[in-house]
Amino acid sequence: MFQNQEAYLWSRVLPIAKLTWNKGKRMRYDTILMDADETILDFSQAERSAFARTLEKYEITCTEEVFALYSDINHGLWKSFERGEISKQEILDRRFRETFQRLGIRGEFPGLEEAYQTALSEGSFIIEGADEVCRRLSEHCRLYVVTNGVAATQHRRMKESGLRVWFRDVFVSEEVGYQKPKREYFDYVFARIPDMVPERTLLVGDSLTSDIAGGKGAGVDTCWMCRSGRIEEGLGKADYIITDLRELYGIVGGAEHE
């Protein structure tokens, strides 16, 4: 069966299935690289909460329209970062400035970006099922986090979420010196995973441009986390497509439903 179809069919079964590991069966993958935001951590909720709290601190009115504008600008800047067009520092310098310029908000707001980063780091919301899935997979596979972002923020969110205990290491682009999807990022990661076999490694992430393209370029299988349900966007790009983290049981191997 075509892998994308197989993964999609699993999504219709797993929410109501009790899963058990098939003892003695060789796992299809023994190393799993997992993106953080929108894969295991709920960045959307963390971002919205941090944004509202920060603007309130600076007595700036926060509306859905204001947040939508900021989110669009921020997303575009991170895409430029992925393509190597700007630095991470440029993102931090520009995202609020450009938002306020578009809104006609004038004035000086010292420490605003730092206040936002602090609020964001406190956003340890997780994707549904993430703790259970990471715990169970860690019993059979080596788990690593591969993420673009601000190191201090990502490390704190992983720790506060309770998910960090299931991962052997967390690789943040700021500390690596390169970002996904660059091959140099993955070379750095692979060099620090003992006895890694690319053919037995799976990368799971929500971004087709950062995670899936990066994983493909690095020579490992990829699984697109598509929470929107619009799986047609990933057909022909990822080896697997899932809409629920629990679908990983069937993909990684060794699971059966009963």
CA distance 64 to 182: 34
C-alpha separations of 63 from 50, 101, 219 in Å: 13, 16, 43
Choose the catalytic residue: 35, 37, 221, 244: 35
Cβ neighbours for 57, distance < 8 A, ≥ 6 positions apart: 115
Q: Which one, of 154, 50, 61, lies nearest residue 112 by Cα? A: 50
CA distance 238 to 212: 6
What residues does 169 pair with on adjacent strands?
144
Instruction: Determine the residue type at 157.
Output: R
Answer yes or no: 35 catalytic: yes
Residue carrying structure tokens 């076999």: 197
Residue carrying structure tokens 């986390």: 225
159 class by beta-carbon count within 10 Å (0-12 exposed, 13-18 middle, 19+ buried): middle
**Catalytic positions:** 35
